[in-house]
Structure 1
């Protein structure tokens, strides 16, 4: 039974419709709210949360629902209402499906995944008094120990939703690791992959061959020990992780840093917009602080957000149009010198599609003259055109060019790993 269910509707669910959906469990269940009202919960009679529903999001970016949910999902603009069922109670998944089905029955639209849709009342037959109360404090967390917050996901693609972003922030604040557990058929989006970068955070993948678990980013075999998933003593690599196939797809990775004086007239995002236009022929499509990316591209709006958060940093996810997969991690921070933009843009190319490497020198010149470029590293790696991350070994990127200030250095075509030595020499 699915744990996450999403209602995609052309109209915004109002309070009355949401309450009608939450009546999926009948009159014996209650309703509560957490996160200052941003999350509504369907609860058992003793207050135990069964289904948590996040506030609806208006997704206005073309192709975003298809990117995260696959073909057949409703196209933007659409209201995205996500429900997450607890894994501790058998009926919770059906309750989430009935909630989403009732919303769609009233407002139109579709339910994801389609097989979860229902409108029947789901009676609670489990004796919840025999189920331990999950004292997690965050709806997305399934298991909480002194060292680790565990999130169980059975989605084909695991995005960095606001659920997961909140779980990561809470875990970090409490000095805990975040570990996401998935079946071997799941993939991660690049933002989720970035969020799990660095131990002790992990992507824990069920190993169908070995009967245990392995790290989806390193391949290390894992087991549950001392309240966390940790490597087994022999430090061996799981066999499924090594099953690599080369379909000829590649990813072009552009990592750049810009510096600007902190003035009232500063508008951020123009460097990223320039790179995007140069490499894809169009500007970015949208931006957000989590996935789904729901806000149409606007340098003014993202600047206002970053200015309102300063001096705290701002992390954003930026996406492109469906015809050319492109996604950027965008970090904005205040420094003693002013304002810095740290950007990593990844663009996907299929077999037979050639990245425009010959135009990189001109791009570097434009960025240096007009957008305060400090450094830019461009590299290539084998990787899926759709930019998703499978639980398999992925070859590291190989540098193509490196720019420091106005000095652009061409290093190769992305096939010689020794070019990393040149990057290290130029960086010193």
Structure 2
């Protein structure tokens, strides 16, 4: 496994501090930059990367180091400086660890993980070289084949870091899948889960009993034909096409944790006065009593919540879409992804959001209709799906089975209701009557459903509703 090492410091590592860290391999090592100067690399004699160092990031949001690393950082704000050791290179991990240890020592901070960052001594690097690789331009990619880019990670939570986001983008642009390989016990951030494309992309988990398996489906995997692929007929039974499921994936124990999931779209006319993120903030306030804590274009989310600054960034990147991650306070786990897209008619926001609740904590289901009405009347809601599921309070995606969510309600915005002929939006085949939202002249509708996480029949109700609204 490769190692990521991170220095968490109250002071920004200045140029001399970073240089002292980079001299962990001795003064004869070469240096280079990539990613428009945002990444510094320590090179071998053949100019191949041994360690890649990201530019320091100022984190102004509490709880991110605890959520993603299980580490105790300095008080907010603090600087997050990340280094990644190249796969398969002897002592590259020691180089990265010494770099982080030196930076933490000189900038009065700490380093993660502690076991990799205990020494400040120069690492003997004579004869150490990195293998040639066509992925050298992408420090995050460990193996590149014609079909996939493989990223090997050993950290408690696989987060949508800036360099992993670059790996997603590079794989897509080269028509490859992205496969993330982790040890057992690692979890995914919901931001990574939501961005992981379909086949052949997948999350590959190392397992003592089955070798490798897909962390999202449990399918046993093997490296074959240049990628990790499912194992079919491991016993050579020609008439049995079933794919075996890893034992570890099936070992689940009930915890009593719940997640309330909210997915919605809102569309706004193009207007210089438009401020984005208001709909998301409305949901957060209605369901938690407070606004989001922070946001960013990668994890860790490093900026305090500010719809104005978020809007400025989205406008500066238009007409290209912009993706954001938004997080809540440590006391009430919440995480959202927001995609802002310029359309022919204006600007569209697409939000996927979840809040976590432990045993004895009740999700605020009574607030959902009121929240929906606010989105309809103030934020031009197009549609929204509300779900409840039995899943971890901390929102991390584990490598074992978690049941699907069940629909609590579906909301259709006023413009969408207006586009449905006759009175079909109001008269549905569901047993419960829809709740009208907004003014009578331009109604939107809230369609309540049973919402029992132990009963999946709610999806049949949801399908009946959607087919009815489409006129099928």
TM-score (normalised: structure 1):
0.97
How many Å apart are 1:378 and its aligned residue?
Answer: 0.5
Aligned equivalents of 1:404 and 1:322: distance in 2? Answer: 32
Structure 1 residue aligned with 2:294, among 274, 286, 293?
286
- Counterpart of 2:461 in structure 1 is 422
How many Å apart are 1:422 and its aligned residue?
Answer: 2.5
- Counterpart of 1:83 in structure 2 is 83
Residues 75, 209 of structure 1: CA spacing in aligned structure 2 closer, same or farther, 3 A cutoff? farther
- Counterpart of 1:407 in structure 2 is 445
- Counterpart of 1:51 in structure 2 is 51
Structure 1 residue aligned with 2:364, among 356, 362, 366?
356
Task: Assess if the C-alpha contact under 8 Å between 2:42 and 2:51 holds in 1.
Answer: yes
Aligned equivalents of 1:36 and 1:71: distance in 2? Answer: 30
How many Å apart are 1:126 and its aligned residue?
Answer: 4.5
Residues 202, 2 of structure 1: CA spacing in aligned structure 2 closer, same or farther, 3 A cutoff? closer
Aligned equivalents of 2:279 and 2:269: distance in 1? Answer: 15
- Counterpart of 1:146 in structure 2 is 146
- Counterpart of 1:162 in structure 2 is 162
Q: Match of 2:218, SS?
A: coil
Residue by residue over 1:343-376, the C-alpha shift from the partner in whole angstroms, topping out at 9 and shown as x without a partner, is: 1110000011110111111111111111111111
Aligned equivalents of 1:132 and 1:64: distance in 2? Answer: 34
Aligned equivalents of 1:382 and 1:74: distance in 2? Answer: 34
* 1:288-303 to 2 correspondences below 5 Å: 288-303=296-311
Higher mean C-alpha deviation, range 390-399 or range 410-419:
410-419
- Counterpart of 2:421 in structure 1 is none
Aligned equivalents of 1:207 and 1:88: distance in 2? Answer: 20
* 1:81-160 to 2 correspondences below 5 Å: 81-117=81-117, 118-128=119-129, 132-136=131-135, 137-160=137-160
- Counterpart of 2:214 in structure 1 is 215
Task: Assess if the C-alpha contact under 8 Å between 1:31 and 1:40 holds in 2.
Answer: yes
Task: Assess if the C-alpha contact under 8 Å between 2:257 and 2:359 holds in 1.
Answer: yes
Aligned equivalents of 1:238 and 1:204: distance in 2? Answer: 12
- Counterpart of 2:270 in structure 1 is 262
Structure 2 residue aligned with 1:237, among 236, 239, 245?
245
Residue by residue over 1:279-304, the C-alpha shift from the partner in whole angstroms, topping out at 9 and shown as x without a partner, is: 11110011111101001111111111
* 1:170-189 to 2 correspondences below 5 Å: 170-189=170-189
Aligned equivalents of 1:347 and 1:113: distance in 2? Answer: 28
Aligned equivalents of 2:97 and 2:71: distance in 1? Answer: 20
* 1:383-394 to 2 correspondences below 5 Å: 383-394=391-402
TM-score (normalised: structure 2):
0.88
Residue by residue over 1:179-230, the C-alpha shift from the partner in whole angstroms, topping out at 9 and shown as x without a partner, is: 01011111111111112242221100111112x2110001111111111111
Aligned pair count reads 425
Residue by residue over 1:241-270, the C-alpha shift from the partner in whole angstroms, topping out at 9 and shown as x without a partner, is: 111111000100011111111111111110
Residues 414, 75 of structure 1: CA spacing in aligned structure 2 closer, same or farther, 3 A cutoff? farther
State the Cα RMSD in Å.
Answer: 1.3
Q: Which runs of 5+ in 1 are unaligned?
A: none
Q: Match of 2:36, SS?
A: helix
Task: Assess if the C-alpha contact under 8 Å between 1:65 and 1:74 holds in 2.
Answer: no
How many Å apart are 1:10 and its aligned residue?
Answer: 0.7
Q: Match of 2:229, SS?
A: strand
Runs of 4+ in 1 over 6 A off after TM superposition: none
- Counterpart of 2:226 in structure 1 is 227
Q: Which runs of 5+ in 2 are unaligned?
A: 234-242, 414-443
